[in-house]
Structure 1
Amino acid sequence: MIRHDIRKLLGRATALVLAVCLVSGLTGCGGGKKTAAGKTPEETLEIFFQALSRQDVDGMMACCYIEDYLDRVSFAQYTDRTKTYLPTNGISAPTEYDLYRKTVGYQLRANFARSFQILTFSLLATDEEYQDLLEFRPIGDVDRDWAKDFSRAVDPGALKDLKILRIDEDRPDMQDDPRVEENFLRSTGADDVVERTVLLELDGQLFCKGFTLAEVDGRWQIYTVSALLLGENSMGGASPVDSEQEYRDLIQ
């Protein structure tokens, strides 16, 4: 009887572990890759913004091109492509060594986390006084009271009302240029690379936000929280627009 009860408990525990693994999206329960990549660029961006609206940073990070990037682009390949070296950018160390693969992975995640934060600030801190910050320039002459005001301004609870109005291909003529495509593919090691721009709405304000996405084995992941061809900086901030027509004009 006791043995039977133990088997029942073990069976329930096993079922629970399997359920957790399925929900978490892990390819293996031993700490394998976690991905929320969609079958199209648009699906991945929808998943990403759903996670943002829930304040789910892990869900946002699961949309990003990190582990597959480490698998596909070596330090030698990256350095040969960039022709410059900084120990903080891209594949910044020889990732054939486990130590450096892990440290570079943390660097990539830190870069994405910074972009997530700037993106969130840009959607919430829309007053003119915060614009320097969104361009990654310091704001001077601040104090405790300023910090309290800023904290209230960027309360992420407001993100629950964030809406995607449309997702489009930006600069289609440039994206169709074989030279641009070759450059993207050499940089990323992906099967395909595209840019997409999202029209967002929050509290009646429209925003334009670009992304670069990489395809790996039929799944799309976010390569950067910015669109190079759109002329965005790499910080990750969204730009306010006055109308859908202004948005359309920007992406053509």
Structure 2
Amino acid sequence: MLKLIYSLLLLCPITVVIGQENKPKIVAVYPTTDSIPVNILRFYIQFSAPMQEMNILNHLKLGNEDGKNISGVFFENQYELWNENRTEVTLIVDPGRVKLGLLANNTMGRAFDEGKKYTLIIDSLLMDFNDQKLNKSFTKTFVAVKEDRQPPDTKLWQLTFPKANSTEPILIDFKDKIDHISAKTLIKIFKNKKEIAGKIKLENEEQLGTFTPNKKWAKGDYQILINPRLEDIAANSINQIFDHKPSDFKQKNDANLILNFTIQ
């Protein structure tokens, strides 16, 4: 009997059907804002699971408001730019089209025109490390707005601080749209020269930063350290606008900016 059952199993293999809820999906495309400056430099695609390298640009389409596909927008790098756990990939807009005065810009112009609407489509054929395709394709529609040539300015930031013995977040209104990777890696909180462990998130279309500690806040004096390489979504850093003229170049100051605050 056992031999008969084994033979039947060999003849009729069991097919395992994986539901949509178990398939990888696109969590977000950054910037999340629907108003993107014409001199945008980077987009990020965030996935729910580690993904295979499958020539990401072959799975993207960028269409204009007439429904026509646009080519030559994203820089074709030899290596795909994934984070360590392969859940987020960076797409770079061809810098030659972002910077004014370069050959690509002079020949083709910027990739995006002010006031025009664009749609980024990511197909569902990308696969995770379990060979599972995305649960569905993803579409992001945005409008290109005026170029951003203003660097982030910490003097304009508005901060809201929590109370002691709570895990309420620090709120930072940047008065600008900040690059989410830049914010997560270049803004840190310290107390007595010891870094406070916690998580930084961006909300409100990258204009609001929140820092939530892993442990409750203790009373005392704190510092927010901001690396001057902090960038907005147009890659303007605190030190330097990305699309600067050679005559506008200034010596970079690598010293961290420090904002002091006290929790009562």
TM-score range, shorter chain: under 0.3
1 or 2, which has the higher strand percentage? 2
TM-score w.r.t. the length of structure 2 is 0.22
